[in-house]
A and B are shown apart, each in its own frame.
Chain A
Amino acid sequence: MSALRLSPGRAAETTSAPAPGSPAISVDAVTKVYGPRGNHTFALDRISLEVAPGEFCCLVGASGCGKSTLLNLLAGLDSPAAGTVAVHGRTSLMFQESALFPWLSVRGNINLALRLAGVPKGERYDRASELLRMVRLKGFGGKRPHELSGGMRQRVALARSLAQNASVLLMDEPFGALDAITRDLLHDELERVWQETGLSVVFVTHNVREAVRLGDRVLVLSSRPGRVVDEFPVDIPRPRRLDDAEVSSLSGTITDRLRQEVRRHGA
């Protein structure tokens, strides 16, 4: 029944205005443990990282690297056993499933997010229209989630996240369930929205190429315990394409590093 508990643990410490030059997110020596005392596993072990305001930061790692745990901590849905998590401004979290509410229309989903974010009633309609236009779904506001394709649903989910007026967007493999053509187009769309909004993004993925295509920086996480083991700045000029030679070559380097990490568990 744990999934049904909506009451949050201690939320991540949030402050509103980031001081100039200070990071949007800073995670310092955070540890998170699962399982009973004596037989526990470290989901995260003294993990530290920082994300600059407006930065697009990608996290890649094999299974069990504690990516979802980390995102939950950043979103304030969970609290760390040790260490500190500081986030400037509100966070929003997108999942692999769009998690749109099936009892509401597309516009209704966005409206609810606006309402819960405290946007006054009179402003919601126009704001929702703006957001729909931003994700190029003008005219789809009256549709139900099940009437849309997977890619469109993720764009609605993106609009719903933007409706929270967050300054940090957390994404948990948001395009993992989409076909390659749709995913490719959504990379462009996400990049455009990110550039227009100036959001800080933390993007978790299994797909190294996707990380290099999108990120300003790619962090490689180790598994059990989760830790940042390596960091690759991506200095390839935008716009990038998945099949750019530079993207391929950096992806290869990062993949090699990831495999090395995975091998450690086989030995």
Chain B
Amino acid sequence: MALEIQDPPVLSDREAEIAGLDALDVPLASARGKLARAWEGLWPKLTALGLFLFAWQAIVWSHWKPDYVLPGPMTVLNKMWHDLVDTGGAAGPHVLLHAAGTTMQRAVVGYGMSVVIGVVVGLAVSRSRILRAGVGSMITGLQTMPTIAWLPLAVLLFKLSETAITFVVVMGAAPAIANGVISGVDHIPPVLLRAGRVLGARGLSAYRFIILPAALPGLVAGLKQGWAFAWRSLMAGELIVIIAHKPSLGVRLQNARDFSDAPGLMAAMLAIFVIGVVIDSLFFGVLERGIRRRWGLGSR
């Protein structure tokens, strides 16, 4: 039975009424500009950063510890800059950049594997009663298990190798991602699933068109948490699993401690912190805000 669709009569009273009601009913959007909102988000961060640096400097000024044990922020920032741009240090050119590069490469590999494993396991568990009963609580248990506890086993299994590090990262991040997927699927409003069924989304197309997109907010929260776990696990791994001729941020930390190089140690710490924050707020923050805006969940 084909639908015969015609134009509604042009500009009747009814049309004017409907249009009027629509105009009155549409929620008003905020009129604040992009720049104003960006500044609103930025200035508290800058202020907090300033306060932190000041507190650090104040502790140094108090001579609680000698300068060579606890250097001030300027010394550390100088050292960091030097490690980034210096072309001919003892440890090679751009040593901090190289170290960060190695570390990021490991992070991408380990995190990528965690995402694939976490999403697949999460989707399977969330949709199967048996898997949920059997594996659901185990995933939560794995998530609470400290990564460092996996390290000895990783070294036994894979020696001091890249694989050992990847293993630890995946064990840290994948359960968090899987949990995010599970909670994302659990929080899909049932009426959306019903609507999907009514529209004829069954089997794989239900996953593709309804379940996955509907679980997106939870999924992104899981990915974000997974990133934090991956980054932490990676640092633990790099501190223990030191591979020769592979400068990494973990190795920088370890070496700096061995040589009592406090500025170098803190420069590496700062790099770890900055990378973590940048990925968290720039990548995941933007992703999350985008979803919230598109879904009309209110902005934070």
- Given A116-B200, A136-B8 in contact, is the A6-B193 Cβ separation under 8 Å? yes
Cβ-defined partner of B4 (8 Å) among A92, A185, A198? A198
**B127 & A112 in contact (Cβ 8 Å cutoff):** no
Q: Which chain B residues (203-237) contact chain A, with CB distance < 8 Å?
A: 203, 205-206, 209-211, 213-214, 216
Q: Considering residues A102, A115, A131, which has the most beta carbons from chain B within 10 angstroms of its beta carbon?
A: A102
B157 within 8 A of A: no
Q: Knowing A4-B127, A103-B214, A112-B209 are in contact, say whether A149-B22 is a contact too (CB < 8 A).
A: yes
B18–A101 touching, CB < 8 Å: no
Q: Is the CB of A6 within 8 A of B1?
A: no
Cβ–Cβ contact A136 & B19, under 8 A: yes
- A21 interface residue per 8 A CB criterion: no
Judge if A242 is at the interface, Cβ distance under 8 Å. Answer: no
Known: A146-B296, A149-B26, A197-B3. A3 touches B193 (CB 8 A): yes
Is B181 on the interface with A (CB-CB < 8 A)? no
Residues 110-138 of chain B, each 1 if its beta carbon lies under 8 Å from chain A, else 0? 00000000000000001101001000000
B156 at the interface (CB under 8 A from A): no
Interface size on A, residues (CB 8 A): 54
Given A146-B296, A196-B5, A164 contacting B214 (CB threshold 8 A): no
A145 to B164, CA, bound (A): 48
Given contact pairs A95-B194, A130-B5, A182-B21, A116 touches B127 in the complex (Cβ within 8 A): no
Closest to B188 in A: A4
Please determine whether B202 and A7 come into contact, CB atoms closer than 8 angstroms.
yes
Q: Write the nearest CB–CB distance from B124 to chain A, whole angstroms.
A: 13
Q: Which residues of A contact B51 (CB under 8 A)?
A: none
The answer, yes or no, to whether A14 is at the interface (CB within 8 Å) is no
Cβ-based interface call for A224 (8 A): no
Judged by a CB distance under 8 angstroms, whether A89 is at the interface is yes
The answer to whether the Cβ of B17 comes within 8 Å of any Cβ in the partner chain is: yes
- Tell me if A113 and B199 are in contact (CB < 8 A): yes
Q: Are A185 and B18 in contact (CB under 8 A)?
A: yes
B192 lies within 8 A of chain A by Cβ: yes
Complex: chain A residue closest to B293, CB-CB: A144
Chain B contact residues (Cβ within 8 angstroms of A): what range? 35 or more
Summarize B's interface: helix, strand, loop or mixed. helix
Closest to B291 in A: A103
Does A26 sit within 8 A of B, measured CB to CB? no
**B25 on the A face (CB < 8 A):** yes
Which residues of chain A are within 8 angstroms of B202 by Cβ–Cβ distance? 6-8
A3 to B193, CA, bound (A): 8
Q: Does B34 contact A (CB under 8 A)?
A: no
Within 8 A of B (CB), among A142-191: 144-152, 160, 162, 164-165, 167, 181-182, 185, 188-189
Q: Contacts A116-B209, A198-B4 known; A189 to B18 CB distance under 8 Å?
A: yes
Report how far A189 CA is from B295 CA in the complex, Å. 27
B167-209 vs A: 1/0 string, CB under 8 Å? 0000000000000000001001011111111111111011001
Contact among A89, A95, A185 with B195 in the assembled complex (CB-CB below 8 Å): A95
A131 CA / B294 CA spacing, docked (Å): 23
Contacts of B196 in A (CB 8 A): 6
The contact of A101 among B2, B25, B195, B205, by CB within 8 Å, is B195
Contact B199 A164 (CB under 8 A): yes
Chain A 179-216 near chain B by CB (<8 Å), digits 1 or 0:
00110010011001000111100000000000000000
B23-51 interface bits toward A, Cβ cutoff 8 Å, 1 = contact, 0 = none: 00111010000000000000000000000
Other A-B pairs, 11, CB within 8 Å; known A8-B202, A116-B209: A3-B194, A4-B185, A4-B190, A6-B201, A93-B194, A136-B18, A144-B295, A145-B296, A165-B1, A197-B3, A198-B1
